[in-house]
Structure 1
Amino acid sequence: MTSTTSSSTAIWRQMGWRICKIRCLRPVPDPRGLPNQGGGTHTGEQSPACRCSVVSGVPARPRRPAGISHRYVAFLRGVTPQNAGMADLKRCFESAGFGEVRTVLASGNVVFSSGLTSPAEIQDLAEHAMAIGMGRTFGTVVRSAQSLQTLLDADPFAVFSVPQEAKRVVTFLRDAKEAGPDLPIERDGVQILKRLGNDVLTAYVPHPKGPVFMVMLEKAFGKDITTRTLDTVRKCLATA
């Protein structure tokens, strides 16, 4: 097995996704509509319903979504110019079958088109493509361009008393969380103001202690989140 395959295999095990070799260990629908107890038998080709990363020891190509009609923005967690090239990210998204792919800034913002309508499925597909194409993956949160435009059009910070010099940021939660802390929360120049669905509004004034707002957001909503300034969201929409 090649080093690329070994690396991808390790990533998928860490993520809790099972790995295909001769048989797919991840339960997938049988194309004939028959009950599937252990996964379909592979003969060198990947089942269309399977997103495992290795088939018979060979890296598998991600599924390509059929049709392109919706614009999305993917916000990747933890991307910097030092750990990921924007050209590499663009190639990964294109290899997953997404169209009109563009990166915005160097902080892991990818604008693209897809015929898929489930952000959760798009997130999984994008992470899969990065694992195969880059040997690593970044936590990905997807929002439709339409939902982001609706958020900006509402001017959501206008109703709050926020210092003029404060930075306004939006935190995107990857998964729906039923419960959360009572808001607002204010401390050390940080105001976690309001949750709108799976998006959280925060304003903060830079603090000598560093990024206090990130520590507070992770404590409140966990680490499966990513945050962008309102200006970055506007730039992404301008590209969309």
Structure 2
Amino acid sequence: MTRYAAFLRGIMPSNPNMRNDRLRAVVEGLGFDGVGSVLSSGNIVFGCAQTDPAELEDKIQAALRAELGIGGGTIVRARDELRALVDSDPFADLTHGRGSYLTATFLKQPMPGPLATAPPELAAAVRVVRYDVPARAVLSVIDNTSAETSKYMGWVEQVYGKDITTRTWLTVHKVLAKL
């Protein structure tokens, strides 16, 4: 059995249909094992014999839409992919903190072209570190002290589309620990 993390897009814990207990129930209802949640931002861990992440994404998303009306998007990564990503130490000597967020933006599909760098208006607030091919993750450092930071997600969606979801590096570590 393989362990997976499902990163759900657009989860708002204030919405009763998006609370962890309801999200877990939907995934458990699909017959997956060891279902758990990490934080309250749409991170679900589970195990199953299925080995096609794209099929798992579709299956989970269809169930979330049908049972809870959630249409935001689901991105699945295997524990081994997340372990390799974390072990690659993409942020080396950097520390996640209030002023500087280390982030991983997971793409549903492989990156369509070359790695984009932040446009001039975001250059002071965002540094794209690299793209991790196996995890399909764009790794960035975001300066939270800059007023321009609020434009980051719009830029990322413009460049990579809406089939993405971003997590802090701390969240990626917490998800991996729960797997």
TM-score by length of 2: 0.86
Of the two structures, which has the highest relative contact order with CA contacts closer than 8 Å and spacing of 6 or more?
2
Residues 1:194 and 1:184: Cα distance change in structure 2 (over 3 Å): farther
Higher strand share: 2
Paired with 1:183 and 1:135, the residues of 2 have a C-alpha distance of 35
Residues 1:168 and 1:95: Cα distance change in structure 2 (over 3 Å): same
Q: Deviations over 1:127-183 (max 9, x none)?
A: 111122213333000001111011111111127x88984210000001123314444
SS of residue in 2 equivalent to 1:188 = coil
1:76 partner amino acid: L
Q: Report 1:5-24 matches (<5 A).
A: none
Question: Which consecutive residues of structure 1, in runs of 5 or more, have no partner in the other structure?
Answer: 1-68
Does structure 1 residue 115 correspond to structure 2 residue 49?
yes
Higher helix share: 2
Q: By how many angstroms is 1:187 displaced?
A: 1.4
Residues 1:156 and 1:210: Cα distance change in structure 2 (over 3 Å): closer
Does structure 1 residue 94 correspond to structure 2 residue 28?
yes
The aligned residue for residue 179 of structure 1 is 113
- CA-based RMSD of the aligned residues comes to 2.1
Q: Please identify the structure whose Cα radius of gyration is greater.
A: 1
Residues 1:194 and 1:134: Cα distance change in structure 2 (over 3 Å): same
Q: 1:216 aligns with which of 155, 165, 170?
A: 155
TM-score by length of 1: 0.66
Paired with 2:96 and 2:123, the residues of 1 have a C-alpha distance of 14
SS of residue in 1 equivalent to 2:40 = coil
Q: 2:10 aligns with which of 38, 59, 78?
A: 78
Residues 1:184 and 1:157: Cα distance change in structure 2 (over 3 Å): farther
The aligned residue for residue 143 of structure 2 is 205
- Say how many residue pairs are matched: 171
Question: Which consecutive residues of structure 2, in runs of 5 or more, have no partner in the other structure?
Answer: none
Q: Deviations over 1:207-232 (max 9, x none)?
A: 22452221221122112100000100
Percent of pairs with identical residues: 35
Residues 1:130 and 1:230: Cα distance change in structure 2 (over 3 Å): same
